Amino acid sequence: MTQLRQTTHVPVMLAEVLDIGLPGQNEIWVDGTAGGGGHSQAILNLLGPSGLLIAIDRDPAAAQRLSAELVDQRVHVRCDSYEHIPEILSEFGDAKANGILLDLGLSSDQLADPQRGFSFAATGLLDMRFDIDSGQPVWQWLHSASEREIADVIFRYGEERYSRRIARKIVLFRHEEVIQTAARLREIISASVPQTYKHGQRLDPATRTFQALRIFINDELEIIQRALDRLPDCLAEGGRLVVISFHSLEDRIVKNCLRSNPRLEVITTKPVQPTEAETVRNPRARSAKLRAAVRSDSPKSGNRNKYAAFSKVRPNT
């Protein structure tokens, strides 16, 4: 087995994923958002000689790197969306998974790559697609969408109160130039919002708009919803579904889907959050929330109580 090279991405709540997901000997696990492979590697280490790990990422660069580096006969890498886990499992004789992990959003590797356009300072094209082979990049969409559409996206997916002002400025600027880079978009956003907003906020004034455009262009919320409707059927009885989200729009969908599915028993009464020690080590973990559920085909049992303690007592590691 080869050990995966650590990328700039540090896996979030790794100890909690393993404690709650409980990967065991000879199990079948699906990492639906394998990214830099940190979670995948740790899960694989617990699967034993006959385990199976299916590592999926929609980003061709991430999938290619995982294929090249996670060389192990127990590992199968797929460049695909996690909403297609049912079809992917059908390639393995309709296998049922003992665990599925979704660690939503983007990775630090993607954020750090100036050519992807995810970060404010990126000087490459304002692309923001996870899968650069499908859909249209943000810069192209911003060039053709109406002012109303832009404002609606920024409001809906970024909950940005200055969405209309930002959209108006974008449309004004695009008469003069194509807004091609993330750095340029950030300047335009900064010029659209009041000075007090810039200085009074802990976040960069462009944060919410960037989040909104990324979510929209990748269809992220709709994919989470569609996937969570389908994934319980892919689990074996007692199989675990573990989902880490990074903002309230995602978490709301995760919470509702896990609670309302009759085949799932939620085992985290409250979302599990990273310890203070982890957020100091890895500030990116700050907003993470982990929710988990077990596939249970019998009427709701006592699992909920069994794991409730996990939400309250957090090991300080």
Ligand X SMILES: C[S@@+](CC[C@H](N)C(=O)[O-])C[C@H]1O[C@@H](n2cnc3c(N)ncnc32)[C@H](O)[C@@H]1O
At 66, give phi and psi (nearest 5°): -65, -40
CB of 159 to ligand X, least distance (A): 20
For residue 315, give both structure tokens: 């090991």
Each as own residue / partner, the long-range contacts of residues 211-215 (CB below 8 Å, 24 or more positions apart, any chain) are 211/157, 211/158, 211/247, 212/153, 212/154, 212/155, 212/156, 212/157, 212/158, 212/160, 213/128, 213/138, 213/142, 213/153, 213/154, 213/157, 213/158, 214/106, 214/118, 214/128, 214/138, 215/157, 215/158, 215/249
Q: Kindly tell me which of 75 and 106 has the beta carbon lying closer to ligand X.
A: 106
Residues 6+ apart with CB under 8 A from 223: 81, 82, 83
Query: Between 82 and 139, whose beta carbon lies closer to ligand X?
Result: 82
Q: Which of 4, 11, 21, 43 binds ligand X (CB under 6 A)?
A: 11
Pick from 13, 20, 21, 103: which binds ligand X (CB under 6 A)?
Answer: 103
Verify binding: residue 106, ligand X, rule CB under 6 A.
Answer: yes
The 67-86 contact track toward ligand X, x by CB under 6 A, reads --------------xx----
99 in contact with ligand X (CB under 6 A): no
CA–CA separation, 220 and 132 (whole Å): 15
Q: What stretch of H or E contains 230?
A: helix 220-230
Is 118 near ligand X (CB under 6 A)?
no
* Binding mask of the shown chain, residues 171 to 210, with x at each position contacting ligand X by CB under 6 A: ----------------------------------------
Question: What residues between 243 and 302 interact with ligand X by CB under 6 A?
Answer: none
Does the protein bind ligand X through residue 221 (CB under 6 A)? no
Kindly tell me which residue out of 21, 23, 33, 116 binds ligand X, with binding defined by CB under 6 A: 33
Shortest-Cβ-distance residue relative to ligand X: 35
Residue 289, SS3 per DSSP: strand
Q: How far is the CB of 37 from ligand X (least distance, A)?
A: 5
Decide if residue 129 touches ligand X (CB under 6 A): no
Q: Which stretch binds ligand X (CB under 6 A): 22-30, 58-66, 139-147, 148-156?
A: 58-66
Among 265, 256, 257, 248, residue whose Cα is nearest residue 228: 257
Of the candidate residues 27, 59, 250, 278, the single one contacting ligand X (CB under 6 A) = 59
Pick the piece of the chain touching ligand X (CB under 6 A) from 37-45, 85-93, 139-147, 235-243: 37-45
Size of the site for ligand X (CB under 6 A): 23
Does residue 107 belong to the site contacting ligand X (CB under 6 A)? yes
* 93 Rama sector, left if φ>0, alpha if ψ -120 to 50, beta otherwise: left
With contact defined as beta carbons under 8 Å apart, do 101 and 254 qualify? no
Residues 35, 51, 232, 239: which binds ligand X (CB under 6 A)?
A: 35
Q: Which stretch binds ligand X (CB under 6 A): 20-28, 33-41, 153-161, 202-210?
A: 33-41
Residue 214 binds to ligand X (criterion: CB under 6 A):
no
The Cα–Cα gap between 262 and 297 comes to 8
- Cβ(55)–Cβ(62) below 8 Å: no
Compute how many other C-beta atoms are within 10 angstroms of the C-beta atom of residue 194: 11
Question: Of these, 21, 23, 38, 274, which contacts ligand X (CB under 6 A)?
Answer: 38
- In the block, tokens 């000087």 appear at 123
Binding site for ligand X (CB under 6 A): 9, 11, 32-39, 56-59, 62, 81-82, 103, 105-107, 130, 223
